Chain A
Amino acid sequence: MTSPHTGAQGSHAPGAEPADISLADRVALLGGSVDRAVGRGLARITGSAIAPYQTAVIRIGFSLTWLLFLLREWPHRSELYGPDSPWSFDLAKRLIASNHAFTVLMWSDSRAWFEIVYTVAILSALMLLLGWRTRTASLLFMIGVLSMENRSVFMGDGGDNVIHIMAIYLAFVRCGQVWSLDRRRAVRTAAVEKGGAPAGDADPVGVALWVLLGAALVAASVAGKLTTGWGLIFWGCWVGQALWWAARRYAPGEPRTVLEMIGNVVHGGALLVIAGEVCLIYSTAGWYKIQGSRWQDGTAPYYPLHLDDFTPWPALSHALAGNDVMIMLICYGTVIVQVAFPFTLFNRRVKNVLLAAMMLEHVSIAITLGLPFFSLAMIAADAVFLPTAFLRWAGDRLVRLVGPRRVPAAVVGEGQPAPEAVPPAPTPQGPAVDPA
């Protein structure tokens, strides 16, 4: 403790090593390194669609969850979202008139229309799962999800809520770069082009799909079914597809690079939103638990294990609930993990341990509380934080395990050292395969 005037800077300045460097120089140096860091970051988010494996795994996760859900509810589909629902067309119309939610199921109360929409929702989930025409699939998937859930909002639970939000985010993510049919086609096209064929094939299937969806869009617009906002979004996507197709076919130089970069930047932003959303889900789930006296006294998990709606296996639930130490550990463990999770993102190892813990907890929730689709959706959301090395290892193992006969695809996949080495996809709907 010297004089009150001796601040940290004051005491260091005289003896500091680079005493000859002026403040202005230091600022300039700092500015330079910030510039370089910004430059590197910019190059990264514009030059490629980041995190190809993570975005592919959430694409597969959410589409699989929704697909399995729609198939499971097939016998109940009309009671949930169709003409036999106690949440009748009239009730849905009254609620939607006040909240303006988007659902194509309100376009007609006929059974045929409902069956068409439900079937298209299943097909689009399958499209997205396989990564066939990923951009188009993600948009159709979103329409399917919003249509069902907004039609009968009181049928849903937390799992539906997760899928609802993520379906919107996925539409902005180039999530078909790996583990997709789009990727396989891109690799094949690249091989053909290397052999001397002209770049940017005409892609008749893509054009046909584009024309078909354009016709549907015209019909919906003429019938006055689309609000201005949704109309702009859908027409924008449709025009974007055409631009993308034209650029890759007729302007493979700078115009295409710019479109590519814009796609990559939007992808990066959406991925940031997805990661932030998952953190917010866990944070708030944790924060609200901390406020509850049952979570404080270590008995909270005991109660759901005795709720009739969430005990498909009463013997298992009651045995679990009977173990006081176990209940206490689950109780505090859940709160600690949920509150801590966002902060562990700064440390890879701790983050991975917590990720494994959360996935395990969701698996047990799926079984004990009878919430398989909620749990699967949450596991899919968690997967966005899985490390690339693990995802690639797991992907290779899975390919070897399930597809010994599909050698060509596997070889093509393994022959590519990294997704960054994949050429751009050849179609307007094309996968978000990055050029670099």
Chain B
Amino acid sequence: MDSVEGPEGPPPRVGALSLPSRIAVALTVGCVAVGALYHLGMVFLHVAPSNTLSKEHATAVSDYIYPEFEQNWKLFAPDPLQQNIHVQARADVLEPDGSRQTTGWVDLTAIDIAAMRHNPFPSHTQQNELRRAWGFYTDTHDTTERATAGDRSDLSRTYLLQIVEKRFGPTLNGGKVTRVQVRSATTPVAQPPWITGGAAQSTDYRVLPWWDVNTGSASTASTDPSAVPTTIPSAVPSTQPSAAPSAAAPVPSSTPSSGQENAS
């Protein structure tokens, strides 16, 4: 087979091989062809809209696809997200003199957004971390904050709590953080100006229950730029949260409340 070696030689031909070699090559061709088509078929059933075949073979498809071939190409589809969701948090702190104090709401998403402004290469920690953690939480909880997905619900809750803990650090306003509360502020994107009948926009809040800080795993003060400043205005009763709170001036808020509140 010297011709195989030489740069100018013709390609090796299957026909020129011995029978066992031909069988080996033929078997490989068969297995690879079947394997490639099977793989593509499975991926098709996984990514296509739910249909007769994918429902019938749901177990086989998910056994094959998960965990390494999981994928989702609903990019801005069927409809793009049409609302800005900001995750905000506040803390209860224990002062050295023994008094308790509730901080104002801190718009964590706004801090991320400020870090991404005019940055051609936003970090995943700013663009995905909070956004996907919130998505994970809402996917695994109903609107009354009851868990709907067993252990995954607990994972999402713990994850969100740990993000807030990391960003607040162990101390705020000179006191020790004892518990935190998370809420989302959802503001619809105004309809395009050329569309008539666009409704007035208002921000909806979804307020989660207070969560005790797990002192065991609470981080040391974070040096990361997304960390919250260590001084936050304390709760000021009767101040309405503005629709677009800025990162630099975290919004003080009214007393702990549940349910939704609207600011116009």
Contact = CB atoms under 8 A, between A and B. Distances in A.
Contact of B11 (A47, A157, A306, A423): A47
Given A48-B11, A280-B43, A307 B122 contact: no
Given A86-B166, A157-B124, A79 B224 contact: yes
Contacts of B40: 272-273, 276-277, 280
Contacts of A155: 124-125, 128-129, 132
Contacts of A190: 7
A273 B43 CA distance: 10
Interface in B88-126: 109-110, 112-113, 116-125
A199 B81 contact: no
Given A43-B13, A261-B28, A158 B125 contact: no
A396 B124 CA distance: 35
Contact of B118 (A42, A164, A288, A312): A312
A258 B76 contact: no
A312 B122 contact: yes
A299 B192 contact: yes
A253 B71 CA distance: 43
Given A252-B5, A280-B43, A309 B125 contact: no
A333 to B, nearest CB: 14
A308 B109 contact: yes
A241 to B, nearest CB: 18
A294 B35 CA distance: 39
A289 B11 contact: no
B14 A261 contact: yes
Contacts of A312: 116-120, 122
Nearest to A41: B29
B14 to A, nearest CB: 5
Chain A at the B interface: SS class:
helix
Interface string B156-184: 00110011011000000000000000000
B115 to A, nearest CB: 10
Contact of A307 (B32, B66, B73, B81): B81
B48 A284 contact: yes
B133 A154 contact: yes
A435 B73 contact: no
Interface stretch (A29-37, A320-328, A382-390): A320-328
B73 A284 contact: yes
A45 B29 contact: yes
B25 A46 contact: yes
Contact of A302 (B6, B113, B159, B192): B192
Interface stretch (A7-15, A51-59, A98-106): A98-106
Contact of B113 (A158, A164, A308): A308
Interface in B179-211: 189-195
B53 interface: no
A312 B129 CA distance: 17
Interface stretch (A108-116, A213-221, A263-271): A263-271
B59 interface: no
Interface in B1-38: 1, 4-14, 17-18, 21, 24-25, 28-29, 32-33, 35-36
A156 B73 contact: no
A156 B29 contact: no
A80 B189 contact: no
B143 interface: no
A303 B75 CA distance: 13
A139 to B, nearest CB: 14
Interface of B: 1, 4-14, 17-18, 21, 24-25, 28-29, 32-33, 35-36, 39-40, 43-44, 47-49, 66-82, 84, 86, 109-110, 112-113, 116-125, 127-129, 131-133, 136, 151-152, 155, 158-159, 162-163, 165-166, 189-195, 217, 219, 224
12 contacts: A43-B11, A45-B29, A88-B217, A262-B28, A284-B74, A291-B49, A292-B78, A295-B77, A303-B82, A306-B189, A308-B110, A423-B7
Given A309-B116, A312-B117, 11 more contacts: A72-B121, A73-B124, A76-B224, A256-B1, A257-B12, A258-B25, A281-B73, A284-B74, A285-B75, A309-B112, A370-B122
